[in-house]
Amino acid sequence: MNLREAETVIRKTLEQIKKHEIELHQGCVACHIIFSLKQKSGRSEQDAADLLSEVLTGDQELNSELIETVEKIHLEERGMGVAFTAKDRKSKDVYLEAYFSNVLDELASDLRHYTHDLILRKLLLSYLALYLAQTIGSDYHAATEELYYLLRKDDGKNSKIAQLIARFEEKIKMQGSNIR
């Protein structure tokens, strides 16, 4: 699937989501588009996510349209935090325990498969998305899409992240040499 074909799939899926022709079942707008790209292209989920990002980086109008849709559905139409607060304590604990374990398992897997700088970038982006979610009062998925929107819109932000990671690495190296 080339970029033009991917853009067509993205636009069509986004339009269907906006018109509520696709039922998301409380799922994420961007995730559904990624899954549509995955299904239609035969690529992996990660490749489909990369393809979405590449298309959106090259088309600021589509990038803006996606983020407007994410905001409308995640922020205006949903109260996702309400579903959690309505659970009883035992159900909340089960939910929290499961997701706590999932995060640790994912990070352990990342340690086996990826470089430390990529894992550090992932953790930094997660922190930024969480901070955005807290400050704008949205769910994490919407905040993550807001962050990705910003990164696609302004590549200078990616440079700042890379500089911060380099500073982290330098500090770790300095501390490592002091221990020996």
Which token pair is 127?
């922190």
Please identify every stretch of the chain with a pLDDT value under 70, giving residue numbers as ranges. 79-85, 179-180
**For 87, what's the count of Cα atoms within 13 Å in the CB-facing half-sphere?**
12
d(CA 159, CA 154) in angstroms, rounded, equals: 10
In the prediction, which pLDDT does 173 show? 86
| Res 82: pLDDT | 64
Nearest to residue 73, comparing CAs of 130, 11, 142? 142
pLDDT at 92: 86
pLDDT tens, residue by residue, 10-59: 999 999 999 999 988 878 888 899 999 999 999 888 889 889 999 999 99
Query: What pLDDT, on the 0 to 100 scale, is given for residue 79?
Result: 66
pLDDT computed for residue 180 by the predictor: 61
